[in-house]
Every structure is written in C-alpha cells, then in structure tokens.
Chain A
C-alpha cells in the first residue's frame, strides 16, 4: 500500500507543531475573510504572500491553502445568517439557507453546510492523493503542444462558464494575455509594452494586479454601493440537525461532492459555478421542486458540498501539472516559485513532503474548520457587526505594506493604484476581472509553448490535433464552445445566472 505509506508520511509532516500552527492560522484567517463580505481569498492571499517569504515552503503552502478552503466554510455562515454571500461561491446558499434561518432553523442549516463541506473536503483530499501521482506521471509526457492545448482549454472554460456575458469574458481573457506580455520577450530580448520604463522590463507583478483589482478596485466599488448588513439571528441555538434533516441531505451532499470534484479539476472555473450546477441538479431531482427557495435543506447541502469539493480539487492541476486553474492557484504557484521551487510534475518526486504534507494538512484543516464554524459560530457572528468603514482601511494598509515589501519598490505601489482604478472601471462596465487574471497568469507560458510547438512542427499548426493528448484537449475545448453556443443551453445559462 504505497498510498497508505505516503499518507502516513504526509500526516507526519502536517502534524509537526509548526505546520499544525500554520494550518490553524490559515483556516482561521480563511473563515474570517469568508465570513466578511467584501474581501475574498484572492486578495487576502496576495496580501499575505510576502509574509510567507520567511516560512518554510510546506508551512507557507499549508497556510495559504487553509485560507482558500477556509473561506468556503466561512462564506456560508454569512449567506445563511445575513442573506449576503460572504464569498461569491456562497451566492446560491443564500437562497434556501437564509429562508431556513428565517424559519428559526439557522442551526441545522449551518450544521449541514459544515458537514457537507467536511464530507466534500475529505473526498476531495482523497481524490488528490489517488489521482495526483498517475496524473503527474502522465504530465511528464507533455510537450509544448499539449501544454498549449491544455491552457487554451482552461481559458475557454473560464470565459464560457464565468457569470455574465461570454464575449466580455473572452475579451477579458485576451486583455489578461496582453497584460502578461508586458516586459522583456524571452526569445528575442525585445522590450514589449514597457513604455520605456525600466521597472516594467521584468513584467507586471502578479500580486500587483491581483491586489490592485481585487482589493483596491473592489473597495472603491463597495464604497460606491454600500450594502446593508443586518444579522438576522442574534443567537444560534440548537445546532443539531434532526435525523430527518440528515436523511434528506445525504444524497445532495454526495451529488454535490461529485459535481464539485468534476468542476474542480476543470481549469478556469470557480467554485461558484460548481454550487450553481449543484443547486440546479437538486432542484431537478427533488420530488417537490416548489420547496426550493423556501428553505429546502437540500439547497444548502448540495451547493455547500460542491463549492468545497471544487476548492480542494483545484489543487490537482496545480500540484500535478504546475498549471494554475484559478487566480488563487496562480498565487500558490507564485509562493512556490518565490521559495525557489519550480512547480511542475516532478515536484511530487523531488519534494514529496510538500505534496503529501499539504494533502494531509487539508484533511486536518477541514476537521478544524468544522470545530471553528460550529461551536464557535458566535464569534464570527459578532465579527459580522464590524462595519465596513473600519475594515477596509486595514485591507489597504496590509495590501500596501505587502506589495512594497516584495521588491521594496514604490513603483509597484503606484502600479497597484493604477490597477485599482482600472479594475474599478472594469467592474463598472460589467467586465469580470477573474478571467483577465487567469489570462494574465497563463499568457507568457502560453505564448512560449505556442512558439515552441510551432518550431517543433516547422510551422505546421496541425501539431495540435495530430498528437493524441493534445487532440483530446482540443476536442474538449471545441465541445465546451459548441455546447455553450447552442441556444437551448444559452437560455438555461440565463436562468442560472438570474
């Protein structure tokens, strides 16, 4: 049992007191920002990335991962108690979760959300452990054409499945690719789009874009449209779900986990899509669909499991291929690179403690989160009462110090301010910045692989369809596009989004 031995090794790494502490810090911070609307894991991880410079790679990764999946737990609390999504992935949970709270059943709703998330987290963790090694082996066979096709698939999936206008999302991906080009061309040494500014010859820093758009830009947008935050339930008592609740939730949790795992492995899709899909499925299979929207527990159990399964499975492409499937994963890769680890399929063999330690810590983290989110729910409810006007100056201060400390460069601060303004304009024009970020991350890699593939094939583009693995990715890409452009699905998409 190699898997078993590897997992024991992983637990040995994750249970060292430092790593346990990092895991604890990670999931607590994650829950905190998950509960608070207006700040997401992406901005938080970008802000805290510089702090991890002094931490060992395993600890850093464990902590950052904890923030990410912890936020999925925290997001549901706000959705259920305040009818506001603490995270975008919890949008669907608002529908039935808040209704349950209004009927005095906030306790069971919170409990089922946590239980579902825990189950999904456990399955997701196991999935990474089982699927990771063979995938990494397969990835070693990848050449430039395969990588290019895979990234293309991810970007198309990201654009097509993102909420809102598909053309806008595709354009934002192109925008990100373009921003990624800024700097010195690796092949020729030519300066591209650097406007003669020396600081730009190394390209625009990923953290600068992430914090600029997702922290500063978001804050400006939030200040323009203040939201009312009313905590519905002062005290949550009776957390225990009834036997009936549990029976009703078992199948939705299992289905949600499956849906979330599927979307999780697909690069480019966020947890919000998985939870939307799960909600639609639950409504379809329910005996009495009219209960949905009026406090159906399945509407909490399914989506909450789905978004956590998705969050866990996003780590699969990152750990096995070295490919970021989302903006958060790009930050994780950034954290590894800063530590001097070249992400890719061989990380698993060269740094086993990183892979198995992280997996084990995820399971521990999920268990910690159940404790953090159920018995200690009162603390988070109190935090919800902290008004936004006291919160965002802290975000600004942390962002600024974080960015400055990466390169001790004021220029990057100015650039962040600029991206804050640009990001705000994008948000206002309904152009979602999430696909842009993915394009930005993948841009340089994609161009590099495209050029290499063309050199390999002597300029023959058929190389992408004559190599079997690459052909597979191309077929999936085409399928995604065809399915989404088909009118019937388009109508359904509107339903889901609306």
Chain B
C-alpha cells in the first residue's frame, strides 16, 4: 500500500495542529509558568500547546491509516483574490477614501469566481458601492470621507 502524503487530509490536519502547538509552547517559554496556586501567564498556553501536539500526533497517525483525501478543489483564484481585495480595501480606506476602497473590494470580489463576466462585474461593483455609500455614509452616518486626498 502506498501512501500519498500530499493529499492526505488528516496528516496535514495533524501537522497543522503540531506546528501550532509547538509555536505556542516555544513562545510561551518567555512567559512565567508560575505554580498551580499562582498560575503565571505561561501556564495555560503551555498546557494548550501540549494538548494540540498530542491531538496532532494522534491525527497524523490515524491519517496514515485512514488515508482520506482532501476533497474538492483549492479554488486558488478565490483564495488569492479575495484576501487581497480585503487588504487593498484596508489600504485604500486609509489613503483614498470610502468610494475607491469599496470599488476595488467589490470589483475584486466579483472577479474572484471563474464564472465572472466582465460587464456584470463592473456593473455589480458600481451598484454595490453606490448602495453602501447610501446605506453606511448617508443612512447610518459613518464618518468616513468618500474621497480622501493622498
């Protein structure tokens, strides 16, 4: 029987948990452990990190036995474009104002799917931006400039 690590769901889940637990314990070494009576700030995170590592090891071993694959596609397009549009939204809110930020965010979102159509994407992002301006700025009175100078 040959093991396929690259797609083994539970092995990766285990690895993720072990890594998180290890980072937690590693960082918590700088925080005082204290005693059971007076627990220091390091006590709880260290215990949790240990738990994560144990659970991760168990999952990884089980994963080798069960050999379950990660299902579905990775939707790389959406995985890259959506977080990126959010980051751009954050940047533009600080430097360019509400309208440009939302235009970029909504347009970015509309093209994140493989089903996206160019004209529809443009219309939708303009429409959504207009709606949000009406609702949040005029309706709820959020104090953000529509257009900011750089």
Chain A interface residues toward B at CB < 8 A:
51, 54, 165, 167-168, 170-171, 174-175, 177-178, 181, 185, 187-188, 190, 192-193, 216, 219-221, 223-226, 387, 389-390, 392-394, 396-398, 400-401, 404-405, 408, 410-411, 413-414, 416-418, 420-421, 424-425, 428-431, 447, 450-451, 454-455, 458-459, 461
Contacts and interface: CB of A to CB of B under 8 A. Distances in A.
B105 A174 contact: no
Contacts of B77: 223
6 contacts: A174-B51, A225-B72, A397-B102, A398-B132, A404-B90, A417-B86
B3 interface: no
Nearest to B27: A193
Contacts, number: 186
Given A393-B109, A447-B44, A171 B132 contact: no
Closest 10 interchain pairs by CB? A224-B75, A459-B37, A410-B90, A413-B90, A417-B83, A171-B55, A393-B109, A417-B86, A429-B13, A223-B78
A418 B140 contact: no
A221 B75 contact: yes
A185 to B, nearest CB: 4
Interface in B24-41: 24, 27-28, 31-32, 35-41
Given A190-B31, A410-B91, 14 more contacts: A167-B55, A170-B51, A171-B51, A175-B20, A193-B24, A219-B82, A224-B75, A225-B73, A401-B142, A420-B86, A424-B79, A428-B74, A429-B13, A429-B16
Q: Range of interface residues on chain B? A: 35 or more
A396 B124 contact: no
A168 B59 CA distance: 8
Interface in B101-132: 102, 105-106, 109-110, 112-116, 120, 124-125, 128-129, 132
Contacts of A187: 41
Contacts of B58: 167
A175 B52 contact: yes
Nearest to B141: A54
A153 to B, nearest CB: 17
Contacts of B90: 404, 410-411, 413-414, 417
B45 A178 contact: yes
B38 to A, nearest CB: 7
B5 interface: no
Contact of A175 (B17, B27, B110): B17
Interface string B37-75: 111110011001101100110110010000010101111
Contact of A216 (B62, B83, B120): B83
A348 B110 CA distance: 46
Contact of A416 (B20, B86, B142): B86
A220 B16 contact: no
Contacts of B24: 178, 193
Given A167-B59, A401-B102, A458-B37, A429 B9 contact: yes
Nearest to B44: A447
Given A428-B72, A431-B13, A389 B110 contact: yes
A152 B16 CA distance: 24
Given A178-B52, A216-B86, A401-B132, A192 B125 contact: no
B13 A450 contact: no
Contacts of B94: 410
A392 B52 contact: no
A394 B124 CA distance: 9
B36 A454 contact: yes
B32 A188 contact: yes
Contacts of A401: 102, 132, 136, 142
Contact of A413 (B40, B52, B87, B113): B87
B86 A171 contact: no
A70 B36 CA distance: 46
B48 A177 contact: yes
Contact of B17 (A171, A414, A418): A171
A388 B66 CA distance: 34
A447 B59 CA distance: 26
A224 B77 CA distance: 9
B113 A389 contact: yes
Nearest to B140: A51
